[in-house]
Structure 1
């Protein structure tokens, strides 16, 4: 009668042999790790409880494959100590004592007799394949910082950073500002936006730190086998996976969005392409009045390029600012010559017909949303040489499609940045949706520099066994028209707003108050006050509205 082990051995195709004492990892699952080259002399499954120890005397068996089907094991064999997890195996020489100890909740060993071979994938005998393998998908700010923090924290395993940009990881805020307006064209190699220290990303330094860069795009994930499929068709197995893909800029499926003069802005290459286009343009149309759209509008003004902004909503920076501050910023842009159209949808982007000298290259077909249903919507055209679509990002990683591990809000994670649906999966940065059942929104996803920076540390700590609850008061900034605007917390248009100072007349702070507590603050050219606003927001303390509105009472005093 065939045993389960016999069937496993017979079902797996032959593959590369390994030497005694060598270890390998099977990306296809632990139950498919080995096959006998000839007769299986002995086969055995063994189930262990936590901390249960099993000793075998020297010479009890011949050469033996030990593979982990479930759980984790400490193994003393061949004069060495190993820790193996599900999917790993070792070939033990004969006449060596063996001790097996389960270190998980329970464990299952599969052991086969002599003349065994292993299923090998991307195997390099010089590499320590037995070490835990963490794969980070997304080589931007958050993903790159996770790698740096893992190395800094002394992570002893292997790290693979997957991303199709052939650049060192970098920070993005400057791409819509300084990278567009600087006198000379910037290069990443000489730029401070590369994640410091830049020497970390040198090939020799990565090799010394056991970090591998894979310049490819992940296209699929098999959760059961913990295996990524890359765009080239190659496969990559892992023990734990960090999703750091950020967001993909949306084009709104606007007809004509793929035309050569129509831009999206997310990467260094996108920024350089837009920079070059602006220097050859006599007009710019921006679709979307969020942070990116309005920052680029400000940059284009600095370059002397006339700008039209088209926004479907009724406010600029509606996700970031309370209405009173949106109105102030709209006035500032219009006063500087930016033409802003609110309540407008874009129907199509067409090439201009029968262009005369000096005519714009494209025509943006627009429809003004009717104020009342009885009114017919007004249609009009906006001519432009260059067009930027800046209507937000899609944070559902395409490679996770069909896995149930991601949705429209990105990847759901708990307060330790780990998926509640797959304990080996973590998310960081723009793509991480931190669940909070007690909040009105059910969770929080932050598209900010500070979140990418600090959440990366939290993920690295969790991966090295030092998980701490990650709680970050939202904070972002934007520089527009010579103004520094910082936002703490999450303003809601329903909140009461207390102004300290007058917008447009020097430094100003707008504090959003809900149920007697400061829940958010907008600081215009008042960055020194930020730490006090953050304390008020984080503490959720009750405040006296009269004192809050009185500029003679400092925020430092209120936050004490």
Structure 2
């Protein structure tokens, strides 16, 4: 690659930082510009609802690289700056001040933003979302002040914050419109497991329940009014109803999009000079043979190495199985594999649900393992991957027999 080439990365989270790293690791000696919307150095987001809320880690501990790395590797890191648009024909990126950057290759790592609610009271200053370090800092203060917290949404963020709040003795109510927590991701069996876990730790979990409005007094949220008219008092409200991928610029530029930016196995978009990674990338996965978009840390961590190779004109394929993890109370879990919302699968359990030490397996109609979730059972992820990738039917009785090796 010519040293005169200019590669631009839009997005200053984990994915964007890792693309910059991978380009330099592959001896690209051209110009690299990394546009980061936040004023902080690129950082990892999982600690925002885990260690940072718990008070065991602060921002420097989950910052991807120190400022010196960008300087020493000649990466033009522009904090507090993002692209307002890009033109894949002219190969330019437009900045907020109206100026433009020319590029030879472009990487999109724009991530997601927290979804909000379009209901009265949602704009009160003590109604929070959780996506940035600023959001997490605000919630640290909420938990420190022991304010009564209502969480709208029983997904991963909502449940992890609930666990951290209960660990600090905060009174927590979680409101979820679905019949169970995480039911669209994990199904009813594991949804019941997490419902029981949180109730056992004192969370007031209200399922199959809608929110009509957030009550306010002098612009401060004071409670949440439910669909049946019931009012739940609150001194702080967290809206945790999912994330929305930042694909507006890609859509306006004419790239192929669906729920995310469509990419092939090399993470190349419909334009050969543009790649996409992380939350926004909807990939035709070569092993799963389906379109998937995974909003988890491991995707932002691992896809950039492939995207960088693609930018450099090398052959590369992203074929890792999806992986994510969660820590709630004394329950740690890892999930490997992929099951679509409408897939016909059943769950079998290896281990003891009551002791919270087990592996859940999702089996299809041919008894092939599609996914596995190990809960307080460690060092089994590689074996779960092997079962999935083998695409061979398993004997469910042997699979659930703990005396039989995986």
* TM-score range relative to shorter protein: over 0.9
Give the drift of 1:132: 1.0
Task: Give the superposed CA RMSD.
Answer: 2.2
**Counterpart in the other structure of 1:535:** 386
Give the drift of 1:525: 0.2
CA distance in 1 between counterparts of 2:381 and 2:354 reads: 19
**Counterpart in the other structure of 1:393:** 243
- CA separation of 1:540 and 1:254: change in aligned 2, threshold 3 A: farther
Give the drift of 1:439: 6.4
CA distance in 2 between counterparts of 1:227 and 1:253 reads: 35
Match status 1:550 vs 2:401: yes
**Counterpart in the other structure of 2:18:** 145
**Counterpart in the other structure of 1:278:** 143
CA distance in 1 between counterparts of 2:164 and 2:40 reads: 24
Contact 2:36 2:42 in 1 (8 A): no
Give the drift of 1:547: 1.2
Match for residue 62 of structure 2 among 193, 210, 213: 193
Match status 1:383 vs 2:233: yes
Match status 1:517 vs 2:357: no
Give the drift of 1:423: 0.6
**Counterpart in the other structure of 1:91:** none
**Counterpart in the other structure of 1:214:** 78
Deviations along 1:146-168, whole A, 9 cap, x unmatched?
A: 10111111112110000121211
CA distance in 1 between counterparts of 2:157 and 2:72 reads: 38
CA distance in 1 between counterparts of 2:233 and 2:210 reads: 15
Match for residue 248 of structure 1 among 110, 113, 118: 113
Contact 1:365 1:382 in 2 (8 A): yes
Question: More relative contact order in 1 or in 2 (CA 8 Å, sep 6+)?
Answer: 2
The structure with the greater share of residues assigned to helix is: 2
Q: What's the TM-score once normalised by structure 2's chain length?
A: 0.93
CA distance in 2 between counterparts of 1:458 and 1:222 reads: 23
- CA separation of 1:319 and 1:133: change in aligned 2, threshold 3 A: farther
Match status 1:505 vs 2:355: yes
Q: What's the TM-score once normalised by structure 1's chain length?
A: 0.68
Match for residue 351 of structure 1 among 216, 229, 253: 216
5 Å matches for 1:268-417? 268-352=133-217, 361-367=221-227, 378-405=228-255, 407-417=257-267
**Counterpart in the other structure of 1:48:** none
Give the drift of 1:278: 2.3
Deviations along 1:300-337, whole A, 9 cap, x unmatched?
A: 00111111111111121224323211101101101111
Contact 1:223 1:403 in 2 (8 A): yes
- For 1:206, what is the secondary structure of its paired residue? helix
Pick which of 265-274 and 490-499 moved more.
490-499
Contact 2:149 2:170 in 1 (8 A): yes
Match status 1:430 vs 2:294: no
Residue ranges of structure 2 left out of the alignment (5+ in a row): none
CA distance in 2 between counterparts of 1:518 and 1:394 reads: 30
Contact 1:396 1:408 in 2 (8 A): no
**Counterpart in the other structure of 2:323:** 475
Structure number with greater Rg is 1
Give the drift of 1:408: 5.0
Contact 2:130 2:240 in 1 (8 A): yes
Match status 1:263 vs 2:133: no
Deviations along 1:220-269, whole A, 9 cap, x unmatched?
A: 12222121222222212211110001111110323322210011111111
Give the drift of 1:528: 2.0
CA distance in 1 between counterparts of 2:197 and 2:7 reads: 48
Give the drift of 1:295: 0.2
Deviations along 1:206-231, whole A, 9 cap, x unmatched?
A: 34423101221211122221212222
Give the drift of 1:385: 0.7
Give the drift of 1:529: 1.9
5 Å matches for 1:10-89? none
